[in-house]
Structure 1
Amino acid sequence: MIQAQMSPTFRDVLHARRVIAAHLPPTPLHHYPQLDALLNATVYVKHENYQPIGAFKVRGGINFMAHLTAEERRRGVVTASTGNHGQSIAYAAQLFGVRAVIVVPEGANPVKVNAMRAYGAEVVFHGADFEASKRHCLTLEQEQGLRFISSGDEPLLIAGVATHTLEILESQPDVEMIFVPVGGGSGCAGACLVAKTLNPQIQVIGVGAAGAPAAFLTWQARSERTAPIATRAAGLATGAPFLMPQAILWEHLDDFVLVEDAEMFQAMRVYLEKAKTLAEPAGAAPLAAALRLRDQVVGKRIALILSGGNASMEELASCLGLE
C-alpha cells in the first residue's frame, strides 16, 4: 500500500532493491580507458541505457507499481512524461496488469512514444511542454478516477531509481564523484541519498540543461523557481521543480552544473566513439559536465550515470553533425 508522501530513506532503497531484483538484473558498470585518457581520471559508466526501456526510470516504475493496492490497480494510473518516465510507467503497468494513461507534449520524441504504446499504454498528446501535460493529468484523474503519478514527488520512484547508485557503490566503493542528470530530480536525489549514507565524502554532481534551469535555480535559491524551457534534451526539459527531490538535493548535493545542448550532443558523439554506446542528450549530460569540469576530476575515480539511450534520429543527426 502506498503511504503518505514522505521523503524516502535509505531503508526504502534497500527494500526497493529486493522488489526490483525480481524483475530486473543489475546494469553494467563499465570502465573505458579511452574515457580515462580524455578526462585524465578513472571513469566508470553506469549503463542505464541497457535497461529494457533504455532508461533508468524503469526502476522507479516497478517499485511504484509493486506497491499499488488492488483498488488502485483496478482504477489505473495517469502520468505526464517527456518520454522515459512514461516508458517506465507503461512497462511496469504492463508487468502488473494495470491500465496506464501517459500524457505527453505535442511533438514528443517518437521513439519514446512508440515504446510507450508498445507496452500497452494509452498515449494522450496535450500541451506544448511537460508542464502543460502535467496539468492535463489532473483533469483526467478527476474525470476517470485514475491514480495520478508525479514523475518527481513520489517517494517510491525516488527509492527505486536510487538503486542505480547502490549498484555503483557495491561494485566500486572507492568512487569519489558521481555525475547524475537532473530533470525532475528523482535520480539525482536517489544518488545523494545512497552516496551520502554509505560514504559522505563522495561528491554528487547534478547536471542540468542550460536551456531548462528551473531545477538549478531552485537548488541555488533553496526556494521554488520556474524557468522557460529551451533545450532539446527532453529528459532535462522541466520548467518547474519537484520539491520532494529538491529537499534531498538541498541537503546533500555538492554541486549543480548546467551544460549547453551542444555540449550534450558532443558528449553523445564521444560515447559513440570511445565507448561504442548510445546515449540520449540527457544521458550524455554527465559526461558533458565531466568534460567541462576536467580540472576537478583529474586523478579521481568518477562514475557517470548514463541515464538513457533513447535518442531520436534527429538527435543522432545533431550529434554526428549531419543536420
Structure 2
Amino acid sequence: MRIPTFTDALQARRVLHDRLTPTPMWSYPGLDAVLGANVHVKHENVQPVGAFKVRGGITLLSSMSEEHRRRGVVSYSTGNHAQSVAYAARIFGVPCCIVMPERANPEKVRAVRALGSDVVLEGATVDECSSVAVRVAGERGMRLVQPDEPELIAGVSTCYMEIFERVPDLDAVVVPVGSGTGAAAACLMAAAMAPRCRVIAVQSEASPAGHESFRQGKCVSHSNRTVAEGLATGRGFVLPQEIVRGKLSDFLLVSDAAIRSAQRLMMTHAHTMAEGAGAAAVAAVLARPDLFADRKIAVVCSGGNASAAEMAEVLVAPSPAESAKKRAVAVEGGLSAEMRVEHA
C-alpha cells in the first residue's frame, strides 16, 4: 500500500469540510496542575460517532468507485472503526456489514445497527473477526475495508492538521495506538507542519502488539487482553508501522489500571467522558513525568464511547494522588523488607 502524503491530507480536509466541523482543543488549569505540564486536549470524543476514526471512514468511502459502492463494504472492529465505516456508508448510501467480536460493547453494536449497517457477531477477538470479514466479503461480493488503508490515514491526518494549526509550537503530541493509524497520521503531519514536535505513541501493556512491532522492526502478533477496546489489537499493521518507523520519538506502554485512573482524571479535571483508548495519552503523561514536565503538549482524546460498565469501573478507580500514595507505600514496604534482610 502507498504511503499517504500531505496533499492527500489536504484533499481529505476538503472532503470533510462540509461533513465534519473541526473538533475543539482546550486546556484545563486543574489538569495541568496534576500532570505538571501545559496540556492541550484534542476532543475527538465529540465527533458524531464519538471517535476520531469517522474522519477516515468518510474519506475512504468518498474515494471509492461507483462499482464498489454498489457492491457495498464489509469491515471488522471492536467498535469505533465500525461506527466510522457505518456512518460513512449511511452518508453515501452504501450497503455495509460490520463483523464485531461476540462479546463486543453492546452500546457500540447498537450504534452500528442504528446507522443502518448489518452486524455479524462472530469471533472472540478483533483479529478473529478479520478472518470472518474476509469470508463475508467473498460470500456477499462486498469490498473489504482494512483498518489501515491509506485513505483512512489521510482522513485521520486532518485531526493533526487541526492540532498543529491551533498550537504550532508544541513540544510533543501523545497518541494512543490500536491499529496505529493515529500515530501514523501524527508522524506525517508533524514532519510537514511541526518538525520540532515529538510524536509519542502509547499502548496498553496488556495488548502491546503495536509496541513490539515497532521495537522489532517488523509486524508481530502478541497477547491481547486489554480492557481498553480501542487499543485491543493482537497484531501490528503493516502500513502504520512502515510510516512510524524512524519517525516516532518514543513508544510507551501503560497499564490498564493507569488508563482507568486517567479516565477518572479526565472526568474530574477536564469535564470529559473518555473511553479507555481516549484516556491512554493522559495515562502516559502521568506515568512518565520525566518526559513531559513543564512541556507544552497535546493529548488526543481519541474517543468517548465508554459503556455503562466501563464508566462504573472508572468511578471506583483510584485517583492519581491515591495511586502515587499506594506506590510510595509499596516502595517503603519493600525497602523495609530489604533492610530487615540486610540486618538479619
Q: Which residue of 2 aligns with 1:130?
A: 126
2:197 to 195, 202, 218: 202
Q: Which residue of 2 aligns with 1:249?
A: 244
How far residue 278 of structure 1 moved from its aligned partner, in angstroms, is 0.4
Cα deviation digits, residues 127-159 of structure 1 (max 9, x gap): 10001101111111111110000012x000000
1:301 to 288, 296, 302: 296
Equivalent position SS for 1:252: coil
Q: Which residue of 1 aligns with 2:144?
A: 148
How far residue 162 of structure 1 moved from its aligned partner, in angstroms, is 1.1
Cα deviation digits, residues 102-121 of structure 1 (max 9, x gap): 00001101111111011111
CA distance in 1, matches of 2:294, 2:252: 20
Kindly indicate whether residue 21 of structure 2 is the aligned counterpart of residue 25 of structure 1. yes
CA distance in 2, matches of 1:262, 1:314: 15
Equivalent position SS for 2:144: strand
CA distance in 1, matches of 2:180, 2:306: 20
CA distance in 2, matches of 1:319, 1:214: 25
Q: Which residue of 2 aligns with 1:82?
A: 78
Q: Which residue of 1 aligns with 2:181?
A: 186
CA distance in 2, matches of 1:109, 1:268: 17
1:175 to 157, 170, 174: 170
CA distance in 2, matches of 1:265, 1:276: 15
Q: Which has the larger radius of gyration?
A: 2
CA distance in 1, matches of 2:156, 2:10: 11
CA distance in 2, matches of 1:39, 1:313: 27
1:220 maps to a residue whose letter is: R
CA distance in 2, matches of 1:196, 1:292: 26
How far residue 223 of structure 1 moved from its aligned partner, in angstroms, is 1.1
Q: Which residue of 1 aligns with 2:307?
A: 312
Q: Which residue of 2 aligns with 1:269?
A: 264
How far residue 201 of structure 1 moved from its aligned partner, in angstroms, is 1.3
CA distance in 2, matches of 1:319, 1:42: 24
CA distance in 2, matches of 1:196, 1:34: 31
1:27 maps to a residue whose letter is: T
Q: Which residue of 2 aligns with 1:223?
A: 218
- Kindly tell me the number of residue pairs found equivalent between the two proteins: 317
Q: Which residue of 1 aligns with 2:320?
A: none
How far residue 310 of structure 1 moved from its aligned partner, in angstroms, is 0.3
Identical aligned residues as a percent: 48
How far residue 251 of structure 1 moved from its aligned partner, in angstroms, is 2.5
How far residue 320 of structure 1 moved from its aligned partner, in angstroms, is 0.9
Equivalent position SS for 2:246: helix
How far residue 199 of structure 1 moved from its aligned partner, in angstroms, is 2.1
CA distance in 2, matches of 1:199, 1:232: 33
User: Matches of residues 150-169 of structure 1 in structure 2 within 5 Å?
Assistant: 150-152=146-148, 154-169=149-164
TM-score by length of 1: 0.97
CA distance in 2, matches of 1:308, 1:198: 24
2:116 to 104, 114, 120: 120
1:78 maps to a residue whose letter is: V
Q: Give unmatched runs, 5+ long, in structure 1.
A: none
Q: Which residue of 1 aligns with 2:332?
A: none
2:309 maps to a residue whose letter is: E
User: Matches of residues 231-246 of structure 1 in structure 2 within 5 Å?
Assistant: 231-246=226-241
Q: Give unmatched runs, 5+ long, in structure 2.
A: 318-344
How far residue 228 of structure 1 moved from its aligned partner, in angstroms, is 1.3
2:6 maps to a residue whose letter is: F
CA distance in 1, matches of 2:292, 2:20: 32
Moved over 3 A (4+): none
Cα deviation digits, residues 35-76 of structure 1 (max 9, x gap): 111122111000000000000000000000101111111000
2:212 maps to a residue whose letter is: L
8 Å Cα contact 2:169/2:194 also seen in 1: no
CA distance in 2, matches of 1:40, 1:318: 26
1:258 maps to a residue whose letter is: L
CA distance in 2, matches of 1:185, 1:119: 25
How far residue 176 of structure 1 moved from its aligned partner, in angstroms, is 1.1
2:91 to 91, 95, 108: 95
